[in-house]
Amino acid sequence: MLSEKAVKEIEEITTRYPVKRSAVMPALFVVQKEYGYVTEEGMREVAKILGLRPILVFEVATFYTMYNKKPVGKYHIQVCRNISCSLLGAEHVVGIIERKLGIKVKETTSDKRFTLSEVECLGSCGTAPMMQINDKYYESLTEPMIDDILKSLK
Amino acid sequence: MNELSTDNHKNSSSLSIKDLLKKVFFIDLIQGLFITFNYTFTKTITERYPDDEKWIPYKRFRGLHTLNRNKEGKELCVGCELCQKSCPTQCITVIPMEDKTGKGIADRIAYRWEINLLRCMFCGLCEDACPTEALKLGREYELASFSMQRQIRSKEELIKPQPIPVEFEGGVIVRATLEKGDKEIKVKPDLSVQKRWW
Amino acid sequence: MATVKINGKEITIDDGTLILDAAKTAGFDIPTMCFHARLSKLASCRVCLVEIVGQKKLQPSCVTPVMHGMEVLTESPVVKSARSSMIELLLANHPLDCPVCDKGGECELQDITFKFGPRQSPFGDNKRRFNEEDYILSPVIVQNANRCIQCKRCVRICAETVGVGVLGSIERGAKTGETSFVREYLDCDHCGNCIEVCPVGSLMSRSYRYKSRPWDLKGVDTVCVYCGTGCQLTVQARKDEVVRVISKPEEGINNETLCARGRYGYSFINSIDRLLVPMVRMGNTLEPTTWEDAVRAVRNGLSEAINKGKKIGGIASSRLSNEELYLFQKLMRGVLKTNNIDSGSRWDTAAVKTYAEIMELSKGGLSIYDALNTDTLLILGFGISDENPVTDYIIRRISGNKKMNIIMASPRGMKLDNSAVLSIRHNPGTEGVIIGGILKLIYDKNINSLKNLGGKDYLKDLSKEKVSDITKTAWQDIEAASGYIMASNTITVAVGSDVLRVPSRIEFLRMLIEALRILGKDVKLFPLFDRSNQRGALEMGVHPDILPGYNFIDGDGLGADGIIDAASRGEVGALYLAGEDILSDFPDGVFAREALRQTKFLVVQDILPTETTEFADVILPGSSHAEKDGTFTNGERRIQLVRKAIEPLGGKADWETICLVAKALGIKNMEYSSPSEIWDELAGLAPMFAGVNHKKLEPDGIQWPCPDIDHPGTAIMYTEKFNRPNGKALFNFREHIASAEVPDDKYPLILSTGRRRQHYNNGSMTRRSNAIFNQWPEESLELNPFDARRFNIKDSEKVLASSRRGEMEVKVHVTDRVQPGITFLAFHNRDALTNLLTNDALDPVCKIPEYKSCAIKIEKLNGHK
């Protein structure tokens, strides 16, 4: 069950739109914040609050990659792999992180702290290569920087 | 022709005494027997079928249909009914069914696969149509039986391993034994003893 | 009008026509994949691309309308290569397991690939796979997501037409697939329309799974037997086994949609319990016998009843064909000289007269599409989504495309509520009072214009409080309804037969219609029927007071309840039931049992063993609709052909059996070679059918009247005024009578009964289909969550439900489809004979047994037994 606060938050979001249905995306972010990922139960509850059929919420949740459909670690590392970052060594960045954490892309460390994933452009091409950890951007990455970042998170 | 016939005419009149002698002493017969006698020392070309020998046809032969299995022993036939569709004499009946036990290569297998040999003309179109190479016209050609019912062959029989393996080249005569059953007469080949007839 | 050139051919066509349709008119076929004529346009497959001269990019013809002066090329090299590439892309991820796939042979992708596609593919990568094994999505659907080509037809039909919207398109890009919410087991209509529209083998029917190939099937176009909508469908049989039912996109009013009953309710035809040989009672048992002996026994039984001067009665089911019903009434009236004849609907003269007058049945009516060309649609007295699902689909589809206010008045939640602007929930049996309330509001606002409204005095004592009290409906809802009605110019009133099954002031409906007409509004009437040939039964004269062709007589005949009543007093010497299971249909089961016991001689002609056949003296095997030719008349008076798919399993079609009985009774003029001959005889008797013959009925049927052979039939037909000398209706008014049994402290709940979407009548037909049976295996009592808390009962718990007459154990289904204080139980299940509980109070006006409601109590089972 969603907490009362989350339900209230979703209800508050719905007031911003002329049609309740429009609130489905922010509502799903509330769910993601609540559970760490978009759960089946969460989607059902969003559907119930917004008066939608569950399948419509499911369609939205699976369409966008920023909704995690599976549990993620405490720190979700999303490395951009689009053209600018790729040219400046995104694969290299992924390689370093994989080595350091001992996991592959889409995997979570056994202590449930880190999840690594590759994502499409995050809109920070000027400072490539970059990655996003939870809500924070880390830009113009170099190997020592990655080291420091990962250490600071541990 | 004319020249030849006059020759003969001449010969017959001039050699009449020789002919007479030939007839008296059975020269032709002796010559014939000599040839026959000579052949007793050459290799035989007749086939002692069905008592001792049997001809195994080549791989390309189109005999009784067989339904094959793959290497893991799964039925290749998926009951797609394409053989039935392609059959010009409409002698094949296929009824598919769902099977989740892994009997076949897919979850669809043939529940019934029947061929009416009375109508079949062994054209091989069914074999061409088969998408899984399950159906093959085999090398069995002794199809006579004592009952009409026996002429409708079903999957249960056709899917059994054949007496002649697919890899066997064929084109040979092998030793065989005649087996008289109640329903039909079979000639059972022994592939280990074989000979080429030419 | 726009003039366009298509491949050099110039045609003139309406503005806004799609290029696709224009090309078809010009004689060029453009292949399509995602396009579906009756769904919203998606244009995602790009197979229908065409070249428009002057435009650089190719355009999808399924969404691009024509413009004046446009030049379209559908067969240019660019188009051909684009089309071929699109098909290649569709095939890039589509597995080539056609030999296994059930769609093989009728697959649209297969067809267009053979016609237009490339014969090779450069794509060497692995195809995407969602699942290794097919998975089961619902009792009727099995899915193989790998084969999906993302046309979204299933998603669209599920949301737009069927209205359950349980299918969706998940993920994106190359991974897109169509499935249910987290691939869960579906809780939907199980109608199978998604399977029907799937162009490939992604969604497949479970009951048809790996049964056959389309080329093995012999199909006949016929009419569905399950409700009055009259859907056209194709019954397909392999050898003598019916393996599936499909429908054709361009035929019939249903246009490819079918409901679960129509699509999967065919298993009874080849059921192992079919009655196949005639049986005659020898002492206590029924012994199989020959047709000759059985018919002789029928003759002896009927003759004995005649000789002894006892009454003879005949009840025929309204799922028999018109021809059979006509013969049945001819047998009853002409041979046995009795007017004691009725169809299973249990209407007597008063009821039929009221309903026929109000709905103007004898004068024709409208086709459903004309009826839906309206501003406001008021649906009343009918569980439309459960009883006529396809009518529900048609209404939803039409209302999605245009502005139409749907007002649903129903005691129970209906699926159509989700398309309605207003859903009125009311107590069972108070439909008339709801109308009264609406009428009162309209009258009060237009007192001057409605000065001459007949029967207006009855409105005086109808106060706001009284209406709310009787109907348990919020007054605002009635106000809103009258608001919608007053704001519209055209109003369609769709009324089902339920209004006549309950004591109520249905005369208000007549007044409302007249009032609206006085106010200058266009009122269209649309009757809804729950049985396939209910209208036909009335038209064929299977009714004590109607002769074929709506010739009303004032006879002395008894209706079905009259016959049963007489039987219980031992007055009936012989009773002939043709296809009718009176024991599970009749409101008071205990009473009907006693009546059948008192009947001297009972002939039952039926296809399946029922409660009633156990009482029979002679059983004559009947034939299902797939085993005979004939016609059905649907709710919109369209006469449609029923055709024979397989030979009668019992050896004789029902009409042959009736003829045999007549022959045995010494009648000469009842021998026919085919149903078509019977129809011709009957067409000679009724002027409205005069121009109809079987040949003319193909493919879509004819709406009577059709007075001569060149007449095409009449689609719209109704008159502005009532057919009375002074233009006003006669009133047969009675006060609202409260239900004969109102809930009290001892029996606190109202039990209302009706039908479920999945089943039909006594369920003897639908329950034999696994696909349907699995959807609703056990009857359960619907209970509002509020009452569930009140009585402390959980969902799926077994309870003992008892009324003043009987009791039964039943499972509880907690749902908000029913209002607090009301419970619902269907009467389809032989194990849960609902009519042992219900009430047999006859409505004083209509004499309709009060089938809809009685008072019950429920108790927890544990501790009780």
d(CA C594, CA C510): 39
Q: Tokens at residue C405, please?
A: 């206010």
Using a CB–CB cutoff of 8 Å, tell me whether C239 touches chain B: no
User: Which domains, from first to last, does chain A contain?
Assistant: 4-63 (1.10.10), 75-153 (3.40.30.10)
Q: How confident is the model at residue C852 (pLDDT cuts 50, 70, 90)?
A: low
Q: Per-residue pLDDT tens for B65-123?
A: 999 999 999 999 999 999 999 999 999 999 999 998 989 999 999 999 999 999 999 99
d(CA C13, CA C75): 20
Q: B131: nearest CA in chain C?
A: C99
* pLDDT above 90: residue C530: no
Helix or strand holding residue C814 (H, E)? strand C807-814
- Strand locations in C348-482, DSSP E? 376-380, 405-410, 422-425
Mean pLDDT of C123-147: 89
Mean pLDDT of C803-826: 81
Residue B72 in any domain: the answer is yes
Residue B175 in any domain: the answer is no
Q: Closest to C169 (Cβ–Cβ): which among A53, A54, A59?
A: A59
* pLDDT above 80: residue C320: yes
Q: How confident is the model at residue C723 (pLDDT cuts 50, 70, 90)?
A: very low
Closest CA to C170 of B188, A15, A69: A69
What pLDDT sits at residue B11? 52
B25 and B99 in a single domain? The answer is no
Q: C175: nearest CA in chain A?
A: A63
Measure B94 CA to nearest chain C CA, in Å: 9
Using a CB–CB cutoff of 8 Å, tell me whether C504 touches chain A: no
Q: Is C678 helix (H, G, I), strand (E, B) or coil?
A: helix
What pLDDT sits at residue A153? 87
Alpha-carbon distances, residue C96 vs C91, C100, C101, C107, C127 (angstroms): 8, 9, 9, 12, 10
Mean pLDDT of B1-15: 51
Contact B96 C211 (CB under 8 A): yes
* pLDDT above 70: residue C353: no
Range of the domain at B122: 65-136+148-159
B34 and B75 in a single domain? The answer is no
Mean pLDDT of C651-673: 89
CATH number of this structure's domain C125-270, picked from the four choices 3.30.930.10, 3.30.70.20, 3.30.110.30, 2.40.110.10: 3.30.70.20
Q: What is the CATH number of domain C2-92?
A: 3.10.20.740
Mean pLDDT of C502-520: 76
Contact B78 C104 (CB under 8 A): no
What pLDDT sits at residue B1? 42
Using a CB–CB cutoff of 8 Å, tell me whether B106 touches chain C: yes
CATH architecture of C279-345+533-687: 3-Layer(aba) Sandwich (3.40)
Chains touching C (at least 3 CB pairs under 8 A) are A, B
B9 and B81 in a single domain? The answer is no
d(CA C285, CA C20): 66
Using a CB–CB cutoff of 8 Å, tell me whether B78 touches chain C: yes
What pLDDT sits at residue C448? 85
Q: What is the pTM of this model?
A: 0.86
B34 and B86 in a single domain? The answer is no
Residues of chain C found within 8 Å of residue B98, distances taken between Cβ atoms: 209-210
Residues of chain A found within 8 Å of residue C171, distances taken between Cβ atoms: 62-63
Residues of chain C found within 8 Å of residue B85, distances taken between Cβ atoms: 213, 215
Measure C207 CA to nearest chain B CA, in Å: 11
- Least confident among C489-498, C583-592, C689-698, C719-728: C719-728
Q: Per-residue pLDDT tens for B107-166?
A: 999 999 999 999 999 999 999 999 999 999 999 898 888 888 989 999 999 999 888 888
Contact B98 C209 (CB under 8 A): yes
Contact C134 B97 (CB under 8 A): no
* pLDDT above 50: residue C503: no
Contact C212 B95 (CB under 8 A): yes
Backbone torsion region of residue A40, taken as left when φ is above 0, otherwise alpha when ψ lies between -120 and 50, otherwise beta: alpha
Q: B130: nearest CA in chain C?
A: C99
Contact B85 C97 (CB under 8 A): no
Q: Is C822 helix (H, G, I), strand (E, B) or coil?
A: strand
Q: Are A and B neighbours with ≥3 CB pairs closer than 8 A? A: no
Using a CB–CB cutoff of 8 Å, tell me whether C130 touches chain A: no
Q: How confident is the model at residue C704 (pLDDT cuts 50, 70, 90)?
A: confident
Q: Quick check: bond before C705 cis, omega within 30?
A: yes
Using a CB–CB cutoff of 8 Å, tell me whether C127 touches chain B: no
Residue B167 in any domain: the answer is no
Measure C62 CA to nearest chain A CA, in Å: 25
Using a CB–CB cutoff of 8 Å, tell me whether A26 touches chain C: no
Using a CB–CB cutoff of 8 Å, tell me whether A52 touches chain C: no
DSSP C134-165: -EE-SSSEEE-GGG-----HHHHIIIIII---
Listed by start position, the domains of chain C span 2-92, 125-270, 279-345+533-687, 352-528, 749-860
* pLDDT above 60: residue C268: yes
Q: What is the CATH number of domain C352-528?
A: 3.40.228.10
- Given a cut of 50, the residues of chain A with pLDDT beneath it are none
Measure A44 CA to nearest chain C CA, in Å: 9
What pLDDT sits at residue B9? 52
What pLDDT sits at residue C266? 87
B154 and B92 in a single domain? The answer is yes
Q: How confident is the model at residue C865 (pLDDT cuts 50, 70, 90)?
A: very low
Contact B80 C216 (CB under 8 A): no
Helical residues (DSSP H) of C236-383, grouped into ranges: 260-264, 291-307, 322-330, 349-358, 368-371
Mean pLDDT of C226-237: 89
- Least confident among A76-85, C638-647, C802-811: C802-811
ipTM: 0.83
What pLDDT sits at residue C692? 84
> Mutation test of the interface with chain C: which of A55, A59, A62, choosing the one with the most C Cβ atoms within 10 A?
A55
* pLDDT above 70: residue B62: yes
Mean pLDDT of chain C: 84
Measure C132 CA to nearest chain B CA, in Å: 11
Helical residues (DSSP H) of A36-138, grouped into ranges: 40-50, 54-63, 83-87, 90-101
Contact A53 C165 (CB under 8 A): yes
CATH architecture of C749-860: Beta Barrel (2.40)
What pLDDT sits at residue C283? 84
Contact B81 C213 (CB under 8 A): yes
Start-to-end CA distance of chain B, whole Å, equals 37
What pLDDT sits at residue C616? 92
- Least confident among A87-96, C65-74, C705-714, C736-745: C736-745
Using a CB–CB cutoff of 8 Å, tell me whether C400 touches chain A: no
Please report, rounded to a whole number, the percentage of residues in chain C having pLDDT higher than 90: 32
Mean pLDDT of C608-615: 87
Chains touching B (at least 3 CB pairs under 8 A) are C
Mean pLDDT of C169-173: 85
Using a CB–CB cutoff of 8 Å, tell me whether A120 touches chain C: no
B30 and B105 in a single domain? The answer is no
Contact B80 C133 (CB under 8 A): no
Q: How confident is the model at residue C841 (pLDDT cuts 50, 70, 90)?
A: low
What pLDDT sits at residue C167? 92
Across A16-33, b (16+ Cβ under 10 Å) vs e yields eeeebeebbbbbbbbbbe
* pLDDT above 90: residue B7: no
Q: Is C326 helix (H, G, I), strand (E, B) or coil?
A: helix
- Least confident among B70-74, C300-304, C379-383: C379-383
Mean pLDDT of B165-177: 87
CB atoms < 10 A from the CB of C369, how many? 12
What pLDDT sits at residue C501? 60
Q: How confident is the model at residue B196 (pLDDT cuts 50, 70, 90)?
A: low
Contact B131 C104 (CB under 8 A): no
For chain C positions 130-159, those within 8 Å of chain B (CB to CB) are 133-134
- Count of structural domains within chain B: 2
